[in-house]
Each structure stands twice: as structure tokens, then as C-alpha cells.
Amino acid sequence: MQKKRKERPANPKLVLLNKPYGVLSQFSGEADDDTLKNYIPHKDVYPAGRLDKDSEGLLLLTNDGVYQARLANPKYKVWKTYWVQVEGEPTEEQLEQLRNGVELKDGMTRPAEAFVMPEPNNLWPRNPPIRERKSVPDTWLCIKIREGKNRQVRRMTAHVGLPTLRLIRAAVGPFQLKGLQPGQWREEPPVW
């Protein structure tokens, strides 16, 4: 029996959304849930990967199932870039742990890129704002991973003693936020 090939759409779409904090990465939910239907007018696109409700930033949506799998499936090793505000000031040892991979309950993470960065330019305020403690400094990190375990970046930083305060996905592969404000979206041609 021959495996049936998926039909590819005649007009593939790729939508880039800056998902606001508190929005579910799906089109349906409970009556009081804020979902993608409040931001995306297209009815034929679906998320290629997810962002937690309490994470912000780039979410890709497409009408092409093959392309969706290519973007989201860890076997394709697409780099995802996150700006992560953490509690504390990381040591080189903590950064090296993130770079080498850390042991989580569901297994070892792949090696990552991790380095200290300045606060991102033109950063929008988060609503609600993150908690600030005058006695504990915070630091921005850039973390790049090639997989997508559930809440992975948050669990990685917590594992090395740097709890995440704010998490923004800035890029997936070649696609970047590039000035999109929370709730804004744009279409780009699919590449690969």
C-alpha cells in the first residue's frame, strides 16, 4: 500500500504574528480566553509550533501542512531565538550549562546558544508588568534552541538557577519580529 502524499495548497500563506502575553496559541478556547481569532482574520491558517499563554513574540501560521511540519518538527532542527529576562546575574558556568544542554524531567536538551544581551531595542511594555525586586537584579539573555519541548526555555533557565521573568520569541529560522508590535501581523512568502 502506497502512502498518500499530502496536497499542498495552490497559494501557500505564511503569517507572522507578534503574539501578545496572555493569548492562547489556538483559535478556540473557553468564553473568557483570548485566542488567535481575536488577531488573525485568516480562517485557513494554523500555528506552526506553539507559544505558552505567558510567553510573547513570534508565532508563525500557515495553510500548508507540509510547511507547518517543516517549521515545527524538531527533526528539522530549525533555530528558534528567544529574548529571556531572568532573575539574577548569570555566571559563565550557568551560561555554559545552557550551551551544553541541561537534564530536564523529559530528557536532555540539545546544545543551545546562550549569551547575555542588552534589553531589546523598542521593547513594548508587558501588560501586566513583570514583578520587580529592588534587591534582586535581572538580566536579558539571548537563547537559541533547535527543539521545542514544553516550556523548554523556562525550564532550562530555572534548572540553572535563573528563573524566567519574561520570554519573547524573536525569530524562527529566517523569520523575525522586525518591528511587529503585540497583536500585529504580516504575511511573508514561505521560504525553504
Question: Which residues are part of the catalytic machinery?
Answer: 52
Sign of CA dihedral 172, 178, 179, 180: negative
Round to whole Å and give the CA distance between 75 and 100: 19
Contact call for residues 165 and 77 (beta carbons, < 8 A): no
User: Cell 519580529 maps to which residue?
Assistant: 177
DSSP single-letter state for residue 47: E
Round to whole Å and give the CA distance between 192 and 184: 24
CA-to-CA dists, residue 47 to 22, 27, 42, 131, 141, angstroms: 16, 9, 12, 30, 25
Round to whole Å and give the CA distance between 58 and 54: 13
Contact call for residues 124 and 144 (beta carbons, < 8 A): no
Round to whole Å and give the CA distance between 80 and 82: 7
